[in-house]
Structure 1
Amino acid sequence: MTRWYGKLLGVVLGMALLRFNPLFGALAGLLVGHAFDSGWFRREGSKGRSAPGPSGDDPYAVLGVSEQASDAEIERAYRRLISRHHPDRVGGDAGEPHRQAVARAGEINRAYKRIKTMRKPPG
């Protein structure tokens, strides 16, 4: 389901803030709301959360590094993330936090292995 509330809030706030030209304010608010709903303001690689990260389509985004990152930077990012999200650090063997940690650690491991495979020299 697509998000819509950013557009609505943007139109209302734009009209309220730009009272001299409410049509322009509504249009500007609609654009900002669309950008919000589309996720343009989300920080890539923000790992201060325990919820699963970006989709597994881009392994670099999962680790929070750019494609131009060196092997050492990728290794550091992997070790930092896996130490933060490892299921053993959550404590206990049951419950939602443990399941989330298992899922996040699996996602991090898959991304790291995929990057290593892509960067391996042919032959």
Structure 2
Amino acid sequence: MTDLDLAEPLVEEICENLDLSEEATEMATEFAHRADMEHPINRSGRVVAASAVYCAAMLVNEKRTQAEVGVAADGVSDVAIRGCYPEILEHEEYSTPDEHAIENPGHGRERVRRSEDESPGRGVVDRIASMVRGDR
């Protein structure tokens, strides 16, 4: 019997390597667990874990670059993270546009607000991509 390639067990170490908060670690762990069990992503567990950490860090305002996360995840490429994180956000329903803010109910996090130049239909994935590119 072979071991499953799961993301969840890898998240804590990646978060520790990046010195992320408990809040970011918990969110990333939740994302990875759901990616493992509820909406499997056709990528290695290490790529999914790194992408979950990247998403969580962005959402709790502890921004790390894709390259930094990749190094902390033992060599996952930033290209792999860039290809995977939008799928995690989509499954977590963070890509749904909102007129005023995006928030994850029940977690007490600050809202991620759109800047005034963003159109009402622009989703979180586009906003995070814009932040990554430095368009803010």
Q: TM-score scaled to structure 1, two decimals?
A: 0.31
Q: Give the helix-richer structure, 1 or 2.
A: 1
Whichever of the two has the greater Rg, that structure is: 1
